[in-house]
Amino acid sequence: MAIFYVLLLFIIIAAIIAVETKNLLSSVICIGAIGFGGSLMFLFLRAPDIAITQVVVEVLGLIILIRATISRDLTFISGDREFFGMVVSVVIILAIFLAGMKVFDTSLPDFGSPIFTKVPEAASQTYIEQGLDKTGAANLVTSVILDYRAYDTLGEAAVLFTSIIGATVILRRKSRKRLEELD
Partner 1 sequence: MPYALCFLLFMIGLYCAIVKKNMVKIVIGIMVMEYAVNLFLIMLGFRMGTSEEPGIAPIIDRSHIIGGATEPIQMTEKFLRTSVDPLPQALVLTAIVISLGSLALMISICIRTYGKYGTFDITRIRRLKG
Partner 2 sequence: MTGVLPLFVAIPLAAAFLLPAFGKKGKAAATVLANLVTVSLLVLAVLCIGKSGVYLVGKWSIPLGINLVLDGLSSLMLLTISVVSAAAMLFSVRYMEQYTAKSKYLSLFLLMVAGMNGVVLSGDIFNLFVFLEIASIASYALVGFGCEHEELEASFKYMVLGSIASIFVLFGVALVYGNTGSLNMAYISKAIQASPMNTGLGFALALFIVGFGLKAALVPFHAWLPDAHPSAPAPISAMLSGILIKTLGIYALARVVFNIFGVSTQIGWLLVSLGILSMVAGAFLAIGQWDIKRLMAYSSISQIGYVVLGIGLGGLIIAKAGDNLGAKQLAWASLAILGGLFHLVNHAVYKSLLFLTSGSVEMATGTREMREMGGLAQVMPITRTTCTVASASIAGVPPFSGFWSKLILVIAAVQAQFYWVAAVIVFVSLCTLIMYLKVQRYVFLGELPQNLQQTKENRGSMLVAMVFLACLCVLMGLLVLVPSLKASILDPAVEVLTGGLEYSTRLIK
Partner 3 sequence: MAQKEDISNGTKGMTVIVKTIASWVKVLIFLFGIYIILFGHLTPGGGFAGGVILASSYVLLMLAFGRESVEENLPLPLASKLDCLGAFLFALIAILGFVFGGVFFVNFLVEKYGQPFELLSAGTIPLSNVAIGLKVCASLFLVILTLSMCCKDFRPGTPSDGKE
Give the residue with the Cβ less far from partner 1, 108 or 179. Answer: 108
The site map against partner 3 for 115-154 (x = CB under 8 A) is -----------------x-xxxxxx-xxx-xxx--xx-xx
Q: How many CA atoms lie within 13 A of 66 on its CB side?
A: 11
Cβ distance to partner 2 smaller for residue 6 or 115: 115
Can residue 56 be called a binding residue for partner 3 (CB under 8 A)?
yes
DSSP-derived 3-state class of residue 23: coil
Site string for partner 3, 10-49 (x = CB under 8 A): --------------------------------------xx
Nearer Cβ to partner 2 (37/131): 131
CA distances from 5 to 77, 83, 106, 172, 177 (A): 34, 32, 19, 46, 57
CA dihedral over 90, 87, 80, 82, signed as positive or negative: positive
Chain centroid to Cα 12, Å, comes to: 14
Please tell me whether residue 60 binds partner 3 under the rule CB under 8 A. yes
